[in-house]
Amino acid sequence: MDPNLPYLTLLILIGCPECFPDGLQQNGTRRHDYCVLGAGPSGLQMGYFLSRAKRDYVIIERNSGPGSFFNKYPRHRKLISINKIYTGSQNREFNMRHDWNSLLSHRPDLLLKRVSRDFFPPADAFPVYLSMFEKELGLRVRYGVDIGRIGAVRSPEGRRYILTDQHQLDYKCSVLLVASGLWVPQRAEFVGSDLVEGYESISTDPEDYKDQAVLILGKGNSAFETAQSISGRAKLVHMLSPNPVRLAWQTHYVGDLRAVNNDLLDTYQLKSLDGLAEIPLDKIAITQLKEQCRSRSGAKKKVKKPKFYVTLKKYLRHQEEKNGSDATGEETLEYHLDNFSMRKPYDRVISCLGFRFNFSIFHSSARPLNSDNARGRLPRLTAWYEGEDTPGLFVLGTAAHSRDYRSSAGGFVHGFRYTVRSVHRVLEQRYHGNAWQSTELSTTQLQSWILKRINEASGPYQMFEVLGDVILLRGSRCEYVEEFTLQALPRFSSLSGHEVSDHGLIVLVMQYGKKKVDYLGRGRADTEWTTAWKSNFLHPVLYYYDKLPTDEEMKLRPSGWTLPRPKAIHHMVEDFLTEWGTPISHIQPLRRFLEHCVQTDLRAFYAESCFRLSLAHRRPPLFCQQGYLERQGVARDSRLWQHGQDGGPRPTERDEGTSGEDPAFPTYLAQAGASFSAGLKLDF
């Protein structure tokens, strides 16, 4: 008898996670630390970070391959996310600013351009790319697992989430990362909504719309994509929604109408039959005339091509009894307003109102709350993307767009690949004690590092006003923390694992101006550095705080402000080339602002200047302290160095742990010509 047999039998009886493949337990439950729901781009992106950190995770996908949404959508098979291959730069980080499709990885070749080189790639290319990403990185994905119920339970180890699939098998995890995207069509309920076709089921063959009058509900990209496809065959295309069309080049929001889809604006404005109108959809009714539905004898007759009329619900008699196929001529809008823009009948009505989050699979114990924005289509989340009432449940990707809805790029691949990384860093700190990745610098290196980030970093550039760099000042040194979630700044220490010293902190943000201007008109840009705060286009802004803002200050910040009022703020003037590196307009004002924050001279000096300053001042500039006086850059046999040594002991550097201004600082600032610039707003 094998002496190990009793031991093995005992392990089977008590249950041993390591004894079963893929975390499978004897009762059929699979246990993991992390469950990622969905193998779309955000799910695979999180899987990559978990895999690199060697965590116990599984990605669960109901379909047979990754990115299944893109097998069907967009319906007319062209992505509107740019794939700019040639930028004139070999810098990977910079190039990701102009690659809106690729995911983050350590592999420089694992980009969408391996699959498509089109500026607007075909939709079919994206699932191919995601499959390549998953296979080449060896991510752990279980396909064909359709989760129908998600619940939460309490256990001695804490809160756990249980995901039940179509075979009644359970997946139990400590942390649930929901990356299922948005795929449930958004509907508008009104009288006659049963007569409306959905974007998800319409024909994409333009010939099927030949010589037809078509009404499209919605004015987003899916609506205009549909209109653009059929306008060459349809008799006319009208578009109806509660609000006027919003153009991405005016709002700087990539979810608004993109130029690649806006051909119908030409035919509308140049009066070629097509048109746009605004009516609240809950006020309308789509009807068929009663005469179409019945013959004079009262018997039903077949109508091959029914016509649909738009009217207002208030004109319908006995509204509670009406359906979409029963209206009289007196109930149409033409009867009440003979010049109503939509008085003519339509052959088809199509709903293109976007998608919503699937709340239906969540049990009440695990269901996220509905967001206050986006008409409640999205889950309500904290600033670090955790459900407000569901601790341990995080939402990733498009479904997490409630945090920056209509204000940044968090609903799109080029934005949420960075928010996913931020969530992973939160997880590493909370559950594994690994502080948010940071870089320790000498304060004399700070300006150069900031300029490097401003001109190369893709995360703050794409997730403007949402992700920003936090610089922790520590006297002669500083700590640089990249891409922190700005709205969580009051919780910075607990989320990042880094403490703020008495020297304060600087937050670097990319943001647009708040003034509404004609973005194609004269005077749309401000190029004068002395009025940098008037910049309208994307530009860097630095906020200086002597301590972390509180939750209350964050809540009560001025309207339109990314962060609460700081002790000092500095705008770097917008730049046509988005290159913030000119010596007078960009670098010198930045240095003066930083000198004010760190209370020391940040200029670089030649050895001779350091020697003279060391003889004339008790505390020479920091560059000289850390360079010249530490024998950096001076030859060992230098008589100049010996002369300095013979002159007497140099003053010791102030303890980094103390605070307070250097009394000699104004002298150095004056010598540097460092008066406050007009671009530096310090008084509130």
Which pLDDT score, from 0 to 100, does residue 654 have? 39
Q: Could you give the CA distance from residue 473 to residue 659 in angstroms, rounded to a whole number?
A: 11
Its sign, for the CA torsion 103, 104, 106, 111, is positive
For residue 187, give both structure tokens: 């509907």
State whether residue 240 is helix, strand or coil: strand
Backbone angles phi, psi at 171, to 5 degrees: -120, 120
Q: What angle do CA 537, 538, 542 make, to 5 degrees?
A: 125
Cis peptide before 41 (omega within 30 of 0): no
State the pLDDT at residue 345: 93
> What are the structure tokens assigned to 76, written together?
């007319």
pLDDT at 76: 96
What pTM was computed for the model?
A: 0.86
* Number of neighbours of residue 395 by Cβ within 10 angstroms: 28
d(CA 169, CA 497): 37
- CA nearest 404: which of 424, 428, 378, 369? 378
Instruction: For residues 596 and 443, give the distance between their C-alpha atoms in angstroms, rounded to a whole number.
Output: 13
How far is residue 346's CA from residue 360's CA, in Å, rounded to a whole number? Answer: 34
Per-residue HEC secondary structure of 146-211 comes to: CEEEEEEEEECCEEEEEEEECCCCEEEEEEEEECCCCCEECCCCCECHHHCEECCCCCCCHHHHCC
Angle subtended by helix axes 413-432 and 41-52, to nearest 10:
40
> Taking a C-beta distance cutoff of 8 angstroms, is the pair 20, 26 a contact?
yes
In contact, 249 and 524? CB cutoff 8 Å = no
Report CA torsion sign: 461, 462, 466, 472: negative
Buried b (16+ CB within 10 A) or exposed e, 403-430: bbbebbbbbbbbbbbbbbbbbbbbbbbb
Closest listed residue to residue 483, CA positions, set 494, 500, 470: 470
Please list the residues that pair with 509 across neighbouring strands.
541
Cβ atoms of residues 601 and 563 within 8 Å: no
pLDDT mean by block of 10 residues, the chain; 684 residues: 47 40 64 98 98 98 97 96 96 97 97 97 98 98 97 90 96 97 94 94 97 97 97 97 95 95 96 95 87 51 75 77 61 74 93 97 96 95 96 97 96 97 98 96 95 97 97 96 97 97 97 90 91 95 97 93 96 96 96 95 88 87 84 56 56 40 44 38 39
Q: Are 103 and 41 within 8 A, CB to CB? A: yes
Three-state SS for 501? Answer: coil
CB of 320 within 8 A of CB of 348?
Answer: no
Tell me which residue of 587, 551, 603, 591 sits closest to 675, measured CA to CA: 591
Q: What is the pLDDT of residue 641?
A: 56
What would the DSSP string read from start to end of 112-128? GGGT---SS-BTTHHHH
Q: What DSSP string describes 384-405? A: TSEETTEEEEEE-GGGGGGGST
- The residues that bridge with 142 in the sheet, in sequence order, are 60
pLDDT for res 164: 97
Q: Pairing between strand 184-185 and 355-356?
A: antiparallel
User: Structure tokens of 452?
Assistant: 């490097």
